[in-house]
Amino acid sequence: MAEKQGKGSMNISKALVIHILLVASLLMACESTGPQDQIPMAIVNETINLTNQQYLNLQFVGGHVAISGGVRGIIIYHASNNEYRAFERNCSFEPLNACARVKVDGSGLFLIDTCCTSTFNFDGFPTGGPASLPLRLYNTILQGDLLTIIN
């Protein structure tokens, strides 16, 4: 009878080893092989008053301004009636490069990093150039005339 218990314990041990190997192989298979966000982290907690003279461009849908904050600054875009988007200005392509800074193109129709020539739409997604990752998007909270940007 002791022999039967030994075989049962051995089957449980084999099952445990197989389970561990299966879990380990699944975890390794889930590793990302694509590009990863390398933009440094920064604490963002900015509040602006939309009625201030320097932010008047944000009173209209399609308006935008650049402010300090984040890693290399923040671009705020008035997307729709009560929706504002706040993008990190640090380009997602080679973000550690000193010139990797996004700005609104002179046409006002898209964002561009003139260093790597990557372009982005106002949803933050790349539309041209070598960038394959979107711009970092910060959270925005609108309360009356105050717009808070946080991460």
**Helical segments of the chain, H only:** 2-29
Euclidean distance between CA atoms 123 and 111, whole angstroms = 10
Q: Which of 81, 37, 38 is nearest to 62 (CA)?
A: 81
pLDDT of residue 19: 52
Residues 6+ apart with CB under 8 A from 38: 95, 96
Average model confidence (pLDDT) across the chain: 85
The secondary element (H helix, E strand) that includes residue 147 is strand 146-150
Domain ranges within the chain, ordered by starting residue = 1-31, 45-150
Give the domain 45-150 fold. Rieske Iron-sulfur Protein (2.102.10)
Highest-pLDDT range among 10-14, 21-25, 28-32? 10-14
**pTM confidence score:** 0.76
Q: Coil, strand, or helix at residue 25?
A: helix
With cut-offs at 50, 70 and 90, classify the pLDDT of residue 15: low
Average pLDDT over residues 78-90: 97
pLDDT value of residue 58: 97
